[in-house]
Structure 1
Amino acid sequence: MSSFDTDRLAVILRDAAKAEILPRFRHLDAGMVRQKTDAIDLVTEADEQAERRIKAAVEATWPEALFVGEESVAANPALLDELDRAAFAIVVDPVDGTANFAAGLPLFATMAAVVRNGETIAGIIYDPMGDDWVLAEKGGGAWQRRPDGTQWRLQVATAPGLADLVGHVSITFLPAESKPKVLANLAKIKVAANYRVAGHDYRTFATGFSHFVMFNKLMPWDHLAGTLISQEAGGYAARFDGSPYLPSHRAGGLLIASDPDTWNLLRSEVFTV
């Protein structure tokens, strides 16, 4: 198990959400929302102010840590290269699911992962609307926890056959030539959902309410926490080529399933990218 104070980081995320995110939910005017790269890549005042608050608290608590936030990287892309070399880093997504948040949909998350020497050792997904966390430390299992201290251990669901699988699938960043084939292949399973918020895709999987998640673009703030939590809940994770997913990876796809057999089945029958 990690010796990192995961509980302290979890409280920092919650405090930022209470102070900077929830007061702005459904109270954003036009000047508080901007496009970054395109119409579905948004940033809001809540993202920016929450990240500033989290960064200040992280730097006060762990001054030796490299802070890598989604909005910090937007301003300074070289931070991603620093992450690959860092002995100790904390990676944060202040509002995962910004498009949902901006649209007034109550499905978004605040996430953080802790990286030591190129390995994710802790991950936290906080749900501001539900006011609870799913979190994990490497080797310590995955847990759902409420602010009153109540918690329970998470376990992924036992997967059924291909035709009855329920999963969360992001096709947005698949190569254009692969999308038609993958979309056709998804007819082989029961449900292919997409919440447009990785944090809740991972929560649904780790809490046993789906059988797999699939992503192609691998930005660390989106996937480090969720992958560790999924693995600690018993899931099997690998990139499309079968190699482990690491904090240094930005591409190569990511498929996480209830077990290795289901992973291989999905890779051969559905995600033949």
Structure 2
Amino acid sequence: MTREIDIAGLANLLQEAAAIEIMPRFRNLSSGDVRMKTEAIDLVTEADEAAERLIKARIGDVVPGALFIGEESVAADPALLDKLAGADVAVIVDPIDGTFNYAAGMPLFGVMASVVAGGETIAGIIYDPMGNDWVIAEKGAGAWLCRADGSQDQLSVTPAPATLADLVGCASTGFYAPDARRTIMGNMASVRIATSYRCAAHEYRAFSAGHFHFLMYQKLMPWDHLAGCLIAEEAGAYVRRFDGSRYQPQHLDGGLLVASDEASWHLLREKVFTI
């Protein structure tokens, strides 16, 4: 299914939300502006909620008729997420990805949006408020770093080394049960570096620009991964759930492994990310 999307308008909307609601609050949050959601490492701030309200209020101008699904909207009404599968077109937004970093005053957070039409992701944007630039992909059109001055560079994943010991990547292990986490973290000693930015936005950006060979996530929420997976695929990556199936907007589990190519995906799946 093809659909015309005002990708520049959507990119500008994310930038506007960051300029008005996110950046003025960065390193200026009071204790009452930060709240715990499910646990101490799962936070929401006044900036998350205010930015999402602004984007939601304006989204009809850039994607008319779209169902809006935001992380904080779903936190308030979990049934909203069930509407994604049947939507003709939907915009999925993470107003601040990396809220833990943002609340701690660390400049590693981003604003993410994806557009889903006919059950597939057709556009994805990751905006970096600190760098004031975007990584953008539309299905079939490649992945691009777009700067505020109008310049653009096409992104491409870096070829993966043939040996496991030379691979570098990011892996999120926090949602595994303790025994499984011990196994996975032990297996990760086989690669050169396995780290975590605690911010999927910047992990996907770095991977798609050729700075990592792999990414791994166990928990799947659409606002965390739809934009990044499309961008990664358009940059040449091999993206699959742990069972080898393609990642789709309705998937909330099954894990996710993103690699520079199919061979390295299978190597990592067999030797590292298996229990």
TM-score range for the pair, normalised by the shorter chain length:
over 0.9
Aligned mates of 2:64, 2:208 — CA distance in 1? 31
Query: Aligned-pair distance for 1:147?
Result: 1.2
User: Is residue 55 of structure 1 aligned with residue 56 of structure 2?
Assistant: yes
SS in structure 2 opposite 1:192? strand
Aligned mates of 1:263, 1:270 — CA distance in 2? 10
Counterpart code for 1:51: E
- The Cα offsets for residues 206-232 of structure 1, whole Å up to 9 and x where unpaired, read as 000000000010000000000000000
Q: Provide runs of 4+ in structure 1 moved above 6 Å.
A: none
Query: Aligned-pair distance for 1:180?
Result: 1.1
TM-score by length of 2: 0.98
Aligned mates of 2:256, 2:87 — CA distance in 1? 23
Aligned mates of 1:207, 1:183 — CA distance in 2? 26
Equivalent residue number for residue 126 of structure 1? 127
Equivalent residue number for residue 37 of structure 1? 38
Equivalent residue number for residue 259 of structure 2? 257
Query: Aligned-pair distance for 1:6?
Result: 1.0
User: Is residue 149 of structure 1 aligned with residue 137 of structure 2?
Assistant: no
Aligned mates of 1:152, 1:94 — CA distance in 2? 25
- The Cα offsets for residues 74-96 of structure 1, whole Å up to 9 and x where unpaired, read as 01111110011111000000000
Query: Aligned-pair distance for 1:181?
Result: 1.1
Counterpart code for 2:18: A
Counterpart code for 2:62: T
Query: Aligned-pair distance for 1:63?
Result: 3.8
Aligned mates of 2:64, 2:57 — CA distance in 1? 10
Query: Aligned-pair distance for 1:57?
Result: 0.9
User: Is residue 92 of structure 1 aligned with residue 93 of structure 2?
Assistant: yes
For structure 2, which runs of at least 5 residues remain unmatched after alignment?
Answer: none
Equivalent residue number for residue 194 of structure 1? 196
SS in structure 1 opposite 2:140? coil
Aligned mates of 1:21, 1:197 — CA distance in 2? 16
Superposition pairs of residues 16-31 of structure 1, within 5 angstroms: 16-31=17-32
Q: Is the 8 A contact 1:25 1:101 kept in 2?
A: yes
- The Cα offsets for residues 122-150 of structure 1, whole Å up to 9 and x where unpaired, read as 00000000110001000000000001110
| Cα pair distance change 1:40/1:27, threshold 3 Å | same
SS in structure 2 opposite 1:74? helix
Equivalent residue number for residue 106 of structure 2? 105
Aligned-pair identity (%): 59
Q: Is the 8 A contact 2:85 2:249 kept in 1?
A: yes
Aligned mates of 2:171, 2:115 — CA distance in 1? 25
Q: Is the 8 A contact 1:2 1:122 kept in 2?
A: no
Aligned mates of 2:200, 2:50 — CA distance in 1? 21
For structure 1, which runs of at least 5 residues remain unmatched after alignment?
Answer: none
Query: Aligned-pair distance for 1:117?
Result: 1.5
SS in structure 1 opposite 2:178? coil
Query: Aligned-pair distance for 1:2?
Result: 5.5
Aligned mates of 1:169, 1:121 — CA distance in 2? 26
Counterpart code for 2:58: A
Counterpart code for 2:66: A
**Over aligned residues, Cα RMSD in angstroms?**
1.0
Equivalent residue number for residue 83 of structure 1? 84
SS in structure 2 opposite 1:120? strand
- The Cα offsets for residues 66-122 of structure 1, whole Å up to 9 and x where unpaired, read as 000000000111111001111100000000000000000000000000000210000
TM-score by length of 1: 0.98
Q: Is the 8 A contact 1:2 1:139 kept in 2?
A: no
Q: Is the 8 A contact 2:109 2:199 kept in 1?
A: yes
Aligned mates of 1:62, 1:110 — CA distance in 2? 17
Q: Is the 8 A contact 2:6 2:62 kept in 1?
A: no
Aligned mates of 2:212, 2:232 — CA distance in 1? 11
Aligned mates of 1:60, 1:48 — CA distance in 2? 20
Equivalent residue number for residue 176 of structure 2? 174
Equivalent residue number for residue 238 of structure 1? 240
Counterpart code for 2:233: Q
Counterpart code for 2:124: G
